Amino acid sequence: MQSVMYSFVAGISTVLGVLIMLVFGKPSKGVLAGLLGFAGGIMIAISLFELIPEALELGSTVIVAIGFLLGVGCLFVIDRTAPHAHVFEPDALELENPEHAPHVRNPLLRTGYLVLFGIALHNLPEGLAIGAGLESSPQLGLTLAIAIALHNIPEGIAIAGPLRAGGVGRFKVVLLTMAAGLMTPIGAIIGHLVFFLSDVFVGGALAFAAGCMMYIALDELVPNANKLHTHWANLGVNAAIVIGFLL
């Protein structure tokens, strides 16, 4: 199944971020800012130039608007209810929802597990997005998978940093990250089971994917990139948007 293969590669790219962290150590702020900005720009470009126009061809304006808002709302609810911390900056270990954190003696270890859990939940709608893109066209599905893979590399770094600092072994960190990445193909399988119902449903699903991508880009990737290095972040975002438009 093509959607499972694409989503598996996209999800498992989180492990690549872990391996980069384990082998080379912390990347420079400029490199990380550029990568985050580029991933965010690609997601914005795909949403505006690919997903929404495709969705409008298959469904009405109302369906597209509802699907888009549902996608945004889905990620918002996950962010508000899941103990997810944005730890793209290696020194930033503040939890976004500290009231959800269990009382443990090792705060770095706690942070690592919370980030792992939050990212695993985020990976589910990302798999749905890949599945929706493939229902429209193989090229769109592949483009979405590449964008999500780029997004997942720094997330792997975000997982590896606090877990290793908290004393978790290298092999266990890789296995935990791989488990979180497997939520992406699970989401694609769910999407594959329901997206064949009608063209209108696929249009709504594409709009849902656009909402998810825009939320991830504007809430996580671009803000965190700018915190690291404004100029490299903006360069990455704008370069990605131009590339996304040309593609």
pTM for this predicted structure: 0.70
Sorted by where each begins, the domain ranges of the chain are 2-22+65-246
Q: Are 8 and 178 in contact (CB under 8 A)?
A: no
pLDDT band at 112 (very low <50, low <70, confident <90, very high): low
Q: Is the pLDDT of residue 98 over 80?
A: no
pLDDT digit string, tens, across residues 191-208:
777 665 567 777 888 888
- CA 164 to CA 168: how far, in whole Å? 5
In sign, the C-alpha dihedral spanning 160, 163, 164, 170 is negative
